[in-house]
Amino acid sequence: MKTYRTLLFDVDDTLLDFGAAENTALRLLFEEQNIPFTDQIKADYKRINQRLWRAFEDGGISRDEVVNTRFSLLFKEYGLEADGALLEKKYRSFLEEGHQLMDGAYELIERLHEQYDLYIVTNGVSKTQYKRLRDSGLYPMFKDIFVSEDTGFQKPMKEYFDYVFERIPHFSIEQGLIIGDSLTADIKGGRLAGLDTCWVNPGEKANDTDIVPTYQIQKLDELQQILNLGRKPSAVRCLS
């Protein structure tokens, strides 16, 4: 396998359990509004939120439009009026407290940071991502953090990756690898930028897109096999 020097890690549902943080934040938000947080409301929120973030990834809307309208759109479906920006602010304060690590994430990063140049590449809100990374203990092990809000671009845009590459000393695309859970943001973006890609797919979701990662893993520690760090063969798949 190739020799890599620079590893670019996504955050949400790659290193940090965003699903757990999101569920807790939503429950607390709706409790504060005296509204039962039902499975149906949760499903409707996720549908609206995913649609908006996909539009953001495609460059159709801004990040502010995503975060400041998702709750007003949700409440509208239930015949209620809501201040989307105000609800977002409350939700954000709860979300910032969520820093639960994905299985094996801390141990992996702790080992890798002494041998590789590690960077964070994430779409999201800068203040939230920085706080969660600090609280998780991962922050000191990364050389830099690139949040879409700060760059003016987002994954999978090539401009986002150009911004990142220009700020990594002595960066070589041939020695770079991006690791993430999103086919449409991490893997598509990495491919557009010329990087090798590693799709973290713990649930073994079917890939019904034309986006083909270089590697596919189920567990984070399987990345060590790709990097030739002495791990025994497992579920790693070399796909391209």
Tokens of 94: 């709860």
Distance CA 224, CA 233 (A): 10
Q: Are 183 and 211 in contact (CB under 8 A)?
A: yes
Which residue in the list 10, 12, 181, 186 is annotated as catalytic? 10
* Pairwise CA distance, residues 49 & 28, whole Å: 18
CA separation, residue 180 to residues 8, 29, 90, 223 (Å): 9, 28, 28, 11
The question of whether 83 is a catalytic residue gets the answer no
CA distance 113 to 214: 22
Helix, coil or strand: residue 13: coil
DSSP H or E segment with residue 123: none
CA dihedral 196, 207, 59, 42 (to 10 degrees): -130
Q: Is 121 helix (H, G, I), strand (E, B) or coil?
A: strand
**Catalytic annotation, residues:** 10
